[in-house]
Structure 1
Amino acid sequence: MGPDRARAWYVISLRPQGTHAALRQAAARCGAGLIALSPWKLVARDDADARDQLRQALQADVVLFTSPAAVRFAAAMQPLAMRAHQAWIATGSGTRQALGRHGIEAAIAPTRMDSEGLLALPALSDLARRSVGLVTAPDGRGLLAPALQARGARLHLAQIYLRQPLPVSATGLQRLRELEAPAWVALTSAGALRQVLQQLAADAQRTLLIHPAVAASARLMEAATDAGFGRVVQAQGPRPAQLLSAAKALFSPGFR
């Protein structure tokens, strides 16, 4: 089991490879360990087509970033600069903070960090004859593009990074099978959950699904229930502190 052997409980993370640090640190502050079951890694689409898509998206009336990764990859491709007439929107506080690190201080984000909360923002309520640049990955935030177009937006889609599938870590699976302490699954992506379950043999699927899940949205709660989790609770959002706060209902008073 390695250095986490004495942990009282565990978070099972399905985040992309190399992006577990914030959740791992938040869990450690609560005395917990983390088991990583990454189904993919994020890679840049740094080609001429992607650069042209990004250039057009960043010139739109409304520029919308779907994740901190979208900000990171965009900034690596070209400097980010907000024009006076534009509205820049982040899907959540983490994405807004990422934009702030690149000099975009006036970006807005919804309090409810899911597609429904995003679409409720006044800046997205009337898009007739307005252009919207959507900076994302293929299949990222699948509800957004059609919803924006239905509101009259002229959509400029910039798919600037990819989710490259990975085999689930054999070490992670072994740790999961040998786990004797309580654990819960952090769900921030329905696609990641599907990708993990598709890779697992039936016995490994059962091992994962016997643990409760903490879902970052109502939509993810439904996805978790459909996948076969017996117990699911909803967090206020996808950030580590929000997931851990919701998880307290699972193991209290064992949480600190």
Structure 2
Amino acid sequence: MDTPTTSTLWSLRPAGEHAALRRVAQGAGFRLRVLPLQRLVARADAARLVAALAAPIRLYSSPAAVRFAALQAAGDLHREGIDLAVGSGTAAALRRAGVAAARSPARMDSEGVLAMAELQAIAGEAVGVITAPGGRGLLLPALRERGAEVRVAEVYQRADLRGGARRLAAFADDPGAVLVASSAEAFGLLETLLPDATSLRGRALRARPVVVSSERLGAQAGRAGFVRVVVADGPTPSALVAAASRVPPVQ
């Protein structure tokens, strides 16, 4: 990994979800500060979770989906069948929950998941998707188009936090800050807090570097007016920090 070119990364991840990113960032010589606009809360729906876990193919959308599902299933997620994860972090969470054979794609986004061999010939097959409301919007229609019976269990949800404007002001006052984002929903909340793009402060904020986890999120940042967008190889902490190490120094 290259030598860091800035001292501080600012994470848009939900409150309480920064530990892994902090460890990787500090190991690479960065400081990490948080800009949480949301927190994660359980969303109990026992019947839907039972149905999703009973499907012969199960797909988990995030480490948080694994964590909240395990809490609601009394820690027991192991079932007969195939367990898929959207990325390596989610697969690792599944292994910690006792699902040793969890599989994840090399490309950690919706397109990568949909390219997995296990999701090709699924007409008439039940696929359980363990996720949050609004998560992985491209996956569900694509699975249904392939003829799958999709059983969705929304085991957690994101709740907005107060104080976003104050946190954004602290970010704006840090001249060496790099924003790190891996959620389109969180980035959308950030957009609602940004000053007008024609104002001096609005232009200054949009000139800050942004590291994003996907091309799709990079396009969203571009539409919001950010001009220094670096796309990481995926949403994992190591991929995000590696991308941050490529950010040119502030002049």
User: Residue in 2 aligned with 1:235?
Assistant: 232
**1:170 Cα offset (Å):** 5.3
- How many residue pairs were aligned? 241
Structure 2 unaligned residues grouped into runs of 5+: none
Aligned with 1:80 (options 76, 82, 88): 76
Aligned with 2:42 (options 30, 40, 44): 44
User: Residue in 2 aligned with 1:33?
Assistant: 31
**1:250 Cα offset (Å):** 1.2
After superposing the two structures, state which structure 1 stretch, 242-251 or 125-134, moved more: 242-251
Q: Hey, what's the Cα distance between the residues in 1 that align with 2:32 and 2:106?
A: 27
Aligned with 1:191 (options 185, 190, 199): 185
User: For 2:247, what is the secondary structure of its paired residue?
Assistant: helix
* 1:91 aligned onto 2:80: no
Decide whether the 8 Å contact of 2:52 with 2:153 is kept in 1: yes
Q: Hey, what's the Cα distance between the residues in 2 that align with 1:187 and 1:105?
A: 29
User: Residue in 1 aligned with 2:208?
Assistant: 211
Structure 1 unaligned residues grouped into runs of 5+: 1-6
User: For 1:34, what is the secondary structure of its paired residue?
Assistant: strand
Q: Hey, what's the Cα distance between the residues in 2 that align with 1:61 and 1:244?
A: 36
User: For 1:251, what is the secondary structure of its paired residue?
Assistant: coil
Q: Hey, what's the Cα distance between the residues in 1 that align with 2:9 and 2:131?
A: 27
Runs of 4+ deviating beyond 6 Å: none
Aligned-CA RMSD value: 1.8
User: For 1:133, what is the secondary structure of its paired residue?
Assistant: strand
| Paired residues for 1:48-197 under 5 Å | 50-78=45-73, 79-84=75-80, 86-169=81-164, 172-180=167-175, 182-197=176-191
User: Residue in 2 aligned with 1:23?
Assistant: 21
Aligned with 1:220 (options 214, 217, 221): 217
**1:241 Cα offset (Å):** 1.0
Q: Hey, what's the Cα distance between the residues in 1 that align with 2:145 and 2:205?
A: 38
Decide whether the 8 Å contact of 1:35 with 1:175 is kept in 2: no
Decide whether the 8 Å contact of 2:70 with 2:77 is kept in 1: no
User: For 1:250, what is the secondary structure of its paired residue?
Assistant: coil
Q: Hey, what's the Cα distance between the residues in 2 that align with 1:18 and 1:91?
A: 21
